[in-house]
Structure 1
Amino acid sequence: MNKLTPGSNIRWESSRMMLPEHVDALRAQQARASQIERPLLDEQTLDAIGRQLNEAVVKHCFVTLSYYHSGSIRQKKCTIDKIDPIIGEIVINDAFGFSWAVPFQDIISIG
């Protein structure tokens, strides 16, 4: 049996392709569906994170920082370089020597 035999599906063979716009729309929809909302932390958790941040700055050791960014939770193994309460962010250095600024409200946990 091939495409030319009676009862085959040759009429619909050309409709298998998808336009690039449709592919982009499907990918965008999947990305939106996989996003999560920023978790809300209670006061005790925020106090514990503050103590751990201060301890990490004093000891200058590597910690695992979990933070919210663009609909997902990311983790970085880093050192805490500076805490800036005026701007409301911390400056971290990752294992490769790159500096990053992470806002306080995005920090989920530190370990």
Structure 2
Amino acid sequence: MNNRLQRGNLLWEGSRMFLPEHKRALLEHRKTISQPDPPHPPDEQQLEAWHYIVDEAIATGRTVRFTLFQNGFFTEQKGQMIGISTERIQCQSITGDIFSIRWQRIAKIEWA
């Protein structure tokens, strides 16, 4: 009887009682935990600070670092600002590539 209580594979023993719907719910929960929440829309003070940085970057040609939220993750891009519109910002990277960023994807703008 003593050998029977000593289980070698505790992972299997503990999970064999999971119902399929519980397993699906657990996997979905793990997916939602691993991805960060999208950033909140910027408030007035944050927008004003961004506009100041954008205006200065265009006037002086300084490099700016953007923190972007895309595909559930935060990424960073650096570049010099070329132009802005109501929907996008156009920048030139350090390597010379031109890229555009949608305003809705921006989580933070700061000096590089």
TM-score above 0.5, yes or no: yes
- CA-atom RMSD in angstroms: 2.2
CA deviation string 1:6-41 (max 9, x = no partner):
xxxxxxxxxxxxxxxxxxxxxxx7776532222112
Deviation at 1:56, TM superposition (A): 0.7
SS in 1 for 2:83: strand
Ranges in structure 1 where 5+ consecutive residues have no aligned partner = 1-28
Deviation at 1:64, TM superposition (A): 1.3
Q: TM-score, normalised by structure 1?
A: 0.64
Q: TM-score, normalised by structure 2?
A: 0.63
Tell me how many residue pairs correspond in the alignment. Answer: 83
* Identity among equivalent pairs (%): 23
The equivalent of 2:103 in structure 1 is 104
CA deviation string 1:55-82 (max 9, x = no partner):
1111111121111111111111211111
The letter of the residue matching 2:95 is: F
The equivalent of 1:34 in structure 2 is 34
Q: 1:1-111, aligned counterparts within 5 Å?
A: 33-40=33-40, 41-85=42-86, 88-111=87-110
Ranges in structure 2 where 5+ consecutive residues have no aligned partner = 1-27
The letter of the residue matching 2:48 is: D
